A and B are shown apart, each in its own frame.
Chain A
Amino acid sequence: MLSYNQALKGKKIFQDLQMEEIKPIMKLIIRGKKREFISAVGKSLNILLPTESNTSTQSDKLTALWLSPDEWMLFSNETVREDSNHYEIKELLSNKISIKNLGAITDVTDQFVMIELKGNKIYELFQTGSPFNFNDFQNKKGAVTQTILNKIDIIVHNLDKNVANLFVRRSFSQHLFSWMNDAASRL
C-alpha cells in the first residue's frame, strides 16, 4: 500500500480569511473542438460544458471550468479515495471521447493543487500580487479566470460569495501558499 502525501499541510486561519488544500479531488483536462465533443461529454456526464469564456457549470458530481475555446477543467465536487487513482469518470470519458477521436482526456489530479479560500478578504489577498481586475469577478458566482499571482500561473473559480477555489501547479504550490499566508497575515 502506498501512502498519500498531499502538497499543503494544514488549514490556515486568519481574520476574515481561511485557506486549505482540499484533496484528493479528481481533475481532468478535457480538450475538443468538434461540436460532437461537447454533446458527447454532456451526454456521458450529464453536464453542459460552459462555452462562454470565463465561466463554469456544475452538476451534482462535477464542476467544469472554461479554460479556452477548446479546453476545460473538470473536477469532482467531492473528495475521492486516497488509496486508489482509478477514476470511473475518466474511464467513461476515455471510452466516449478519446477512443472515438473526438478529443483528448488527460488526468491532472495531482498536476494541480486545489486551495479553498473562505472569508471576505479573498480578493484583497489576490490584489497583493495579481494584475487581474477582480472587481466584477468577485460578484459573479461561478466566474473563472486564469491569471498570475506572485508571478505564478493560477486558476481562480468564484464558487460563491466569500468562497473561491484556487488551482495551482503542484510544484509551485508550497511557495505560493507560503507567500499567500505571509500576505494574509497583514491584511
Chain B
Amino acid sequence: MFIINCPFCGEREQSEFKAGGEAHIIRPKQPTELSDDQWAEYLFMRKNIKGIQFERWNHAHGCRKWFNLVRDTSNDEIKAVYKMGEKPPIK
C-alpha cells in the first residue's frame, strides 16, 4: 500500500484514493468528426507500461480532487504528484 501525497491534503494512505487509469488522455473536443478508429484510439487504447507511467488518481475519501502522479510501475515508487492541468514535472 502506497503513501500518496495528495497535492491538497498531504500524505495519506492508498486506501483513501481511487486509481483512474492513464493520465493525459484528453477527451476529443469534436467526437463526431472522428472516424471509428480514431474514436477507438481514445476510448480503448492504453499503454500499461513497465517503468515510468503517468496516472490519474482521485482522493476519493478525502478532498475528492483528481490529480496526476508519476509512478514507476516496476517498483511502485511515486516520482511526482501534480495537479490536473499542470505539466508533468518529469518526462
Interface residues of A (CB under 8 A from B): 53-54, 67-69, 71, 131-133, 145-148, 153
Contacts and interface: CB of A to CB of B under 8 A. Distances in A.
B62 A69 contact: no
B12 interface: yes
Nearest to A153: B61
A69 B8 contact: yes
Given A69-B65, A131-B13, A148-B15, 11 more contacts: A53-B9, A67-B63, A68-B62, A68-B63, A69-B8, A71-B63, A131-B16, A132-B13, A146-B61, A146-B63, A148-B61
Nearest to B63: A68
Interface residues of B, number: 13
Interface in B1-29: 8-13, 15-16
Contacts of B8: 53, 68-69
Contacts of A67: 63
Nearest to B6: A53
26 contacts: A53-B9, A53-B10, A53-B63, A67-B63, A68-B63, A68-B64, A68-B65, A69-B8, A69-B65, A71-B63, A71-B64, A131-B12, A131-B13, A131-B16, A132-B12, A132-B16, A133-B11, A145-B9, A145-B62, A146-B61, A147-B12, A147-B61, A147-B62, A148-B15, A148-B16, A153-B61
User: Taking chain A's interface residues, is the majority helix, strand, or loop, or is none over half, making it mixed?
Assistant: strand
Nearest to A133: B11
A54 B9 CA distance: 7
A53 B12 CA distance: 13
B15 to A, nearest CB: 5
A68 B60 CA distance: 12
A68 to B, nearest CB: 4
B15 A131 contact: yes
B4 to A, nearest CB: 11
A54 B16 contact: no
A108 to B, nearest CB: 14
A68 B67 CA distance: 13
A69 B9 CA distance: 9
A147 B14 CA distance: 11
Contacts of B10: 53-54
Contacts of A145: 9, 62
Contacts of B61: 146-148, 153
A68 B66 CA distance: 11
Interface in B35-91: 61-65
A178 B65 CA distance: 31
